[in-house]
Amino acid sequence: MKNSDLKEFLRRRRRKLSVYFVVSAVLIVCVILLLSMSMTGAEQRAEKYLKHITGLEDQNISSMECPFSVHFIDVNSGDSILIRSESNIILIDTGEYSYNGDVSSYLKRLGIDHIDLFAASHTDSDHIGDFADIAGKIPIGKVWISRFCQKPEKDYSEDEKIFYDTIEALGIPVEYPEIGTYLSDDIVIEVLSPETKQKSDNDNSLVMKIKYRNRSFLFMGDAGAKTEKFLIESGKNIHSDILKVGHHGSNSGTTDKFLKYAAPDCAVITSGVQNKNLPSRKCIDRLNNYGCQILRTDLEGTIILVYDNGEIKKYS
């Protein structure tokens, strides 16, 4: 064998060995992860991880062919919810700051080139922390902020300062919506709360009910039992097909009485795998006792619900 032929042979062999090594390493990591998972929700977490490393999550792009979809984006323990109809693109919250720009990357993969309305349920970092990245990459028509989340600038957290500075720098119009109904072409938005300032920032969350044709979604932000009590006693129509559970499924809300009035067919909980305290066992028990379907981003990753022939269905 000529020296040049030998070099070429060894080069090809090293390349093959490298491929074998990488494949073997990935398989070993997957096996270790599967074995290290607890039995509770292990299969769901494994499926979520495998979808992430293989890129299968990009199959979500075809959900955009539906006339209406709601994407509960997996941002670990925060909230970020994309609502898309034929005439509107709405984003509620952003999750924490992400070095990799998780939400903006997700939106770009879906072909989202603008956001008509960004609604900050409130200004905790796990709800507005990634705003600067998103706004810097995708034009935003206007911003809604709960008027009772306003505070003196000296009291801003670092994330709040970046949030407000970004809005000002980009000249994005800001509105502080009052309680009431807002029509936006094919979507009806009802702002249900807050009506008065609460001591808890969570209960100052912007609570919205969004209706598309004959179906409705109730987005609770981080609001808890005090807000739920107000919604019930004020006689507001909170009956909804889908409930975005308040405060990531903490025990501070989602009471039995609230579930009776909201009467959801499905409850979505946005939480992170690393958070061992949320969702709380008591909240899960109440949802199970009520009898609605429970979907969780900590177990399933990004959850997409679509409008199909008059029904809301989970897209998979």
Helices 3-36 and 42-54, axial angle in degrees (round to 10): 150
Does pLDDT of 303 surpass 60? yes
Q: Which domain CATH number covers 123?
A: 3.60.15.10
Burial of residue 102, with CB atoms counted within 10 A of its CB: 0-12 exposed, 13-18 middle, 19 or more buried: buried
Find the Cα–Cα–Cα–Cα dihedral 231, 237, 238, 242, rounded to 10°.
-170
Does an H or E element contain 141, and which? strand 140-145
Ramachandran class of 240: left when φ > 0, alpha when ψ lies in -120 to 50, beta otherwise: beta
SS3 for 82? strand
Region 152-166 average pLDDT? 97
Q: What is the pLDDT of residue 53?
A: 36
5 within some domain: no
> In terms of residue numbers, what domain contains 166?
37-314
Of the candidates 52, 58, 55, the one whose C-alpha atom is nearest the C-alpha of residue 109 is 58
Q: What is the pLDDT of residue 58?
A: 53
Residues 250 and 221 sit within 8 Å (Cβ to Cβ) = no
128 within some domain: yes
- The Cα–Cα gap between 199 and 213 comes to 36
Measured CA to CA in angstroms, residue 106 lies from 95, 147, 182, 278, 280 at distances of: 13, 29, 27, 24, 28
198 within some domain: yes
Region 205-221 average pLDDT? 98
> What pLDDT digit, counting tens, does each position of 52-100 carry?
433 444 546 677 789 999 999 999 999 999 999 999 999 999 999 999 9
Does pLDDT of 118 surpass 60? yes
Query: What is the domain count for the chain?
Result: 1
More confident residue, 73 or 46: 73
70 within some domain: yes
Does pLDDT of 233 surpass 80? yes
Helical residues (DSSP H) of the chain, grouped into ranges:
3-36, 42-54, 102-109, 125-128, 131-137, 158-170, 225-233, 256-262, 281-290, 297-300
27 within some domain: no
3 within some domain: no
Beta bridge partners of 82: 71, 91
Number of CB atoms found within 10 A of residue 149's CB: 21
- The Cα–Cα gap between 107 and 302 comes to 12
Residues 259 and 266 sit within 8 Å (Cβ to Cβ) = no
Does pLDDT of 19 surpass 60? no
Q: How far is CA 206 from the centre of its chain?
A: 15
- Cβ-proximal residues to 191 (8 Å cutoff; 6+ apart), any chain: 177, 178, 179, 180, 181, 182, 206, 207, 208
8 within some domain: no
6 within some domain: no
Of the candidates 167, 234, 165, the one whose C-alpha atom is nearest the C-alpha of residue 196 is 234
Region 30-35 average pLDDT? 48
- Cβ-proximal residues to 5 (8 Å cutoff; 6+ apart), any chain: none
